[in-house]
Amino acid sequence: MTSAAAGGRAAAARSRWCGALAGVVALLVSIAVVLAGCSREPAQQGVEAQAPEAKEQAGPSVTVSDDQALGPVPDWQTPTVSVTDENVEALQAGADEALQAGNLYEDSESAIPIYLALKAHAGEDAEAAREADEGLQRAIAALIEQGDAALAGIDTAPEGLQRAQQVVAVARAVAADAEPVVAYLERVESMERVQQASRAGERALEAGRIDDGKDAAVAHFRHALELREGDARALQGLAASESALIRRAEQAAEAYDYERAEAELARAAKVRPGNDTVAHARQRIAAKRASRIGDLRDLGIAALSREDGLDTAREHLAELLRIAPKGDPAAAELRERIELATHYGLFRPGQVFTDALKNGGRGPQMVVIPHGAFTMGAADDEEGASDSERPTRNIRFDRGLAVARTEVTVAEFRRYVEATGNEPRAVRRGYSTVYDERSGNLVRRGGAGPEDGYTGRPADDDMPVVHVSAADAAAYASWLSEQTGHTYRLPSEAEFEYALRAGSQGRFPWGDGAPPAGAGNFTGGLDTSPSGRRWRNAFEGYGDGAWGPAEVGSYAANAYGLHDMAGNVSEWVADCWHDNYRRAPRDGHAWVNPGCREKVVRGGSWASSPEQTRSAWRLSVRGDTTNARVGFRVVREI
């Protein structure tokens, strides 16, 4: 390199140095910002975490300790060294000793001031001048080594930049144009740019500008790393930026805004890709989210146990759905529980239960049938149907219903009579209609009542009670209500047909044609009476092994778990008779006219023709009628 080129390079370096010194020397040198929430980075000296509330408004706060702050580095003033001919050798030895000890420029006993003084004293003495200059060059080299060491240690000792700048001040004063000095000055200037970028990042971080735009903290810290790979201050600045975004995510999660929380985590994950801090934060937030979801589910379920808790449970579900991931099982569970409670209260479809009676014992077995809709009545083209079964109408039940599993038995009805002392209609009247085997007809017989079977002789306890009027049946249901504290009653026509069909829409509950084996107690072509009689109008090829009523529950239950809905004995319902359904209630309630005499009987019996076993079949019967073919069952509101 020519002296002109070296001089130009030195002049340029000096120019850059002077400009940088004026604007950069005063910058604070601090370690990276460590925010609250960055639990995986060690705490650094001089960094204070601001309270979360303040962070949300003003961003991260960075405090720089006094020993990290930099003031302007003044020009180096050469310490005065007195040289005489008598002390030259002593000073030369002292300078060499100071150089060896690393005491280079601080005072008059330091190597560089002595070598400079010796060089000036040498004058025309070339040998002395050479010896002093050689020492000075060794001292300058050692000075630069000290400066480079300060730069190298800046990650752990931030004040090293000030030390390096002091070295620059000395080197400029001693040998500004020397190539090693110029090269060193460039290294210091580069480090200052690194520190300046990190400081800009810290300021942006404090202002809340984390990762959006060129003036954001992340951009400044990455620029610092481009200038100096692995810079600790910039790396920890990125960690602080990541932590700030994680804290924002946590604050959003604390407000149950998990969509925003995930967005903040996604931003945080881009700051230091491959780092596990965001993954751990996501796990923490997910755990808290799952806990909150579980709490809302439990609160909703607990609310459903209260009579007025349905609206509260729905509120919990709405909040749960707002914060839960799509398809969350807790949300599905609470929604299902609310749906069930809406339609079934504390029960479940298909549930079998009994209620306790106040005077001891249990009421009849009840089955919860599902809510739903069906088409009531007979289609226009249904074989054997009558106009009284039309027009068809769509009925929907928004609430489930508990229906007696079987017809009321002789024993169950007896308990009511004994408890109340009420006399059933047949007992008060003194007769009922029974089956006469000799004639094969239904005949009036004195003394027959609810304790008797279809022939008028005493019945077993598990037989369906017959010889009861519509009023007797209603009175039994009222007694159950009083005994249990729940509402028992006779079913409406719509409820009976809905329960009988159990989801089917065919002519018969099982479809069309003859019933399948074991389906119920119907008039079958294979049935015979005790004296060998057979039915003239029956289901061909079907036999159920009974002539007369059978014990309740002897045959297969339908799809809703109910026995003998279409056979065994016909049953009273709550409706008054009307010739058709034209003005019938649309909600499935009983169609009642106060004081009506004609009531409705539904469901086939052991002595009903196939046409009378159809799902839509209905019959008008005087309410005070008692005979061997009609019994009843109850329903309970839930």
pLDDT band of 625, cuts 50, 70, 90:
very high
Residues 6+ away with beta carbon under 8 Å from 273? none
Please report which confidence band the pLDDT of residue 71 belongs to, taking 50, 70 and 90 as the band edges: low
Q: Are 297 and 259 in contact (CB under 8 A)?
A: no
- What dihedral do alpha carbons 376, 593, 367, 390 form, nearest 10°? -10
Q: Are 616 and 466 in contact (CB under 8 A)?
A: no
Query: Which of helix, strand or coil describes residue 319?
Result: helix
Q: Quick check: 7 pLDDT over 90? A: no
Which residues is 511 bridged to in the sheet? 508
Structure tokens at 459: 């019945």
List the alpha helices (DSSP H) in 272-371: 277-304, 310-323, 329-344
Phi, psi of 348 (to 5 degrees): -135, 145
- How far does Cα 540 stand from its chain's mean position? 59
Distant-in-sequence, close-in-space partners of 331: CB < 8 Å, separation ≥ 6: 293, 297, 317, 320, 321, 324
Q: Which two tokens stand for residue 498?
A: 């809905």
Q: Is the CA virtual torsion 102, 106, 112, 118 positive or negative? A: negative
Lowest mean pLDDT among 45-49, 88-92, 146-150, 371-375: 45-49
Kindly give the pairing relationship between strand 441-446 and strand 488-489: unpaired
Parallel, antiparallel or unpaired: strands 618-622 and 488-489: unpaired
User: 481 or 28, which is more confident?
Assistant: 481
- Which stretches within 400-469 are classed as H helix? 410-420, 425-429
What are 339-391's pLDDT values in tens digits? 999 999 889 999 999 999 999 999 999 999 999 999 999 999 999 999 999 99
pLDDT digits (tens, 9 = 90+) for 547-599: 999 999 999 999 999 999 999 999 999 999 999 999 999 999 999 999 999 99
What is the 3-state composition of the chain as percent helix, strand, coil, each rounded to the nearest 5?
45, 10, 45
Residue 192 reports pLDDT greater than 90: yes
Mean pLDDT, the chain, as a whole number? 89
Query: Is the overall model pTM greater than 0.85, yes or no?
Result: no
pLDDT digits over 29-54, tens only?
A: 333 333 333 333 333 333 333 333 33
- Report d(CA 629, CA 638) in Å as an integer: 30
Structure-token pair, residue 2: 């020519």
The torsion of the CA quartet 355, 359, 361, 363, rounded to 10 degrees, works out to -40
pLDDT digits (tens, 9 = 90+) for 437-475: 999 999 999 999 999 999 999 999 999 999 999 999 999
Give me the DSSP letters along 7-43.
Answer: HHHHHHHHHHHHHHHHHHTTS--------TT-TTS--
The β-bridge partners of 621 are: 599
* DSSP symbols for 142-184: HHHHHHHHHHHTTTT-TTHHHHHHHHHHHHHHHHTT-HHHHHH
3-state secondary structure of 571: strand
* Nearest in space to 261 (alpha carbons), one of 284, 277, 293, 238: 284
> What's the gap between Cα 252 and its chain centre?
16
Residue, of 22 and 414, whose pLDDT is higher: 414
Residue 517, amino acid: A
Strands 401-404 and 393-397: unpaired
Residue-level pLDDT at 305:
85
Helix (H) or strand (E) holding 428: helix 425-429
The pLDDT, as a whole number, for residue 119 is 94
| Cβ–Cβ under 8 Å, residues 596 and 565 | no
- Round to whole Å and give the CA distance between 161 and 184: 13
Other Cβ atoms closer than 10 A to 280: 13
pLDDT bracket for residue 73 (50, 70, 90): confident
- Which amino acid is located at 370 in the chain? P
* AA identity, residue 59: G
**Bigger pLDDT: 9 or 602?**
602
Helix, strand or coil, per DSSP, at residue 511? strand
- Residue 64 is predicted with a pLDDT of 40
Q: Please give the Cα distance from 124 to 122 (Å, whole number).
A: 6
Query: 574 with 492: CB under 8 angstroms?
Result: yes
If you ran DSSP here, which 8-state letter would residue 516 be given? P
Q: How distant, in Å, are the alpha carbons of 20, 33, 202, 228 from that of 233?
A: 20, 8, 10, 10
- Phi, psi at 526, each rounded to 5°: -95, -5
Q: If you ran DSSP here, which 8-state letter would residue 307 be given? A: T
User: Is the separation of the CB atoms in 330 and 320 below 8 Å?
Assistant: yes
Number of other residues whose CB lies within 10 A of the CB of residue 248:
22
Q: How far apart are CA 20 and CA 165, in angstroms?
A: 11
Which SS3 state, helix, strand or coil, does residue 107 take? coil
Closest CA to 596 of 575, 619, 580, 573: 575
Lowest mean pLDDT among 27-31, 114-118, 163-167: 27-31
